[in-house]
Amino acid sequence: SDIDKESLRALTPSMDRLVAVSRAIVTKLRAEGRDTAPIELIYNGVDLSRYDHQEACCTLPEEYGFSTGTPLVGVVARLEPEKGHATLLDAWPAVLKRVPETRLLIVGEGSRREALEEQARSLGLLGDECAGERCVGTRHARPGAKVVFTGRRDDVPAVTAALDVAVLPSYREAQGLVILEAMALSRPVVATDVGGIPEMIEDGVTGLLVPPRDAPALAAAITRLLEDHPLADTLARAGHDLVHERFCLERMIAQVGDIYESGATAVSRRSAGARTAA
């Protein structure tokens, strides 16, 4: 935000070290002349204890009126413009043409909810009984609904574990922790090639990358994973292994600890030098 940028601009000259959560942010800071202090790259880490043995929320189809075994695609993100929900909704009719039984869960709240619901309604995705009213889960019967706005949920790991494909269609993203969480749950992922996301996803190896704001490409990638189960399983396993190797919380904590330790050592040396000079 503008406030964050102003705060960073004011504070940077007094900093001994900056920490960035992706190489994309490192590049941005240097381009903006914010590298007056050394920049350390430390990726956000996933608390694997919350994800390794997470059971899928087996009641999701029942909650939202879908048949058991319905393929589920989901996005977990704030409903804000930069998260790209509008492109995902534009892509959804093309997904349904290929895999008509698939349903989309949009998990989260935000300032764009009403506008996104209206977009989904105009595309005929909310179901007959959603016309003219706010859709908030299974309390509303929705024959023909292809998309559900779940609102905020407190069981996001369980919901994510129940997805057949996890999607993050952002237009900009520092890192995209939600993608790492899906990978930790061995879910195949589709995300946009923006910001720090390509540092987590190698296209065709640990997930699928698509250009931002490209609804046809997004639809094609989602459909590919829904139709090609061996590919989806291969990407999911590779993503799971990558999170364990490079993006676990323990590694992040150790890296932050190293920075504090080196900083404390530097301060001690400066203090000792000042006393000697005096």
Q: Dig out the tokens for 210 from the structure.
A: 């698509």
The pLDDT of residue 4 is above 80: no
One domain, residues 98 and 187: yes
The pLDDT of residue 3 is above 50: no
Residue 277 belongs to some domain of the structure: no
One domain, residues 200 and 258: no
pLDDT score recorded for residue 78:
97
Name 161's Cβ contacts closer than 8 Å, sequence gap at least 6: 54, 55, 56, 57, 185, 187
Residue 275 belongs to some domain of the structure: no
Q: Dig out the tokens for 262 from the structure.
A: 């080196």
The pLDDT of residue 99 is above 90: yes
Q: Average pLDDT, stretch 75-95?
A: 98
Q: Average pLDDT, stretch 149-160?
A: 93
**Residue 203's pLDDT band (cuts 50, 70, 90):** very high
Q: Average pLDDT, stretch 118-133?
A: 78
Residue range of the domain that includes 26: 2-44+248-264
Nearest CA to 148 out of 157, 136, 159 is that of 136
> Which of 252 and 59 is assigned the larger pLDDT?
252
One domain, residues 19 and 65: no
One domain, residues 23 and 157: no
pLDDT score recorded for residue 56:
72
Name 45's Cβ contacts closer than 8 Å, sequence gap at least 6: 247, 248, 249, 250, 251, 252, 253
pTM equals 0.84
One domain, residues 91 and 179: yes
The pLDDT of residue 26 is above 60: yes
**Residue 8's pLDDT band (cuts 50, 70, 90):** low
Q: Report the range of poorest mean pLDDT among 175-179, 234-238, 248-252, 268-272.
A: 268-272
- Structure confidence by residue, pLDDT tens digits, 28-40: 888 887 777 788 8
What ranges in 99-228 are assigned the alpha helix state H?
113-122, 156-161, 177-184, 215-227
The CA distance from 211 to 218, in Å, is 8
Q: Dig out the tokens for 82 from the structure.
A: 């930069």
One domain, residues 8 and 62: no
The pLDDT of residue 94 is above 80: yes
One domain, residues 260 and 137: no
One domain, residues 120 and 191: yes
Residue 228 belongs to some domain of the structure: yes
CATH of residue 128's domain is: 3.40.50.2000
Q: Which of 25-29, 41-45, 108-112 is predicted most confidently?
A: 108-112
pLDDT score recorded for residue 141:
35
Count structural domains, the chain. Answer: 2
- What are the angstrom distances between the C-alpha of 218 and each of 9, 51, 90, 159, 191? 36, 26, 9, 21, 8
Q: Average pLDDT, stretch 239-243?
A: 96
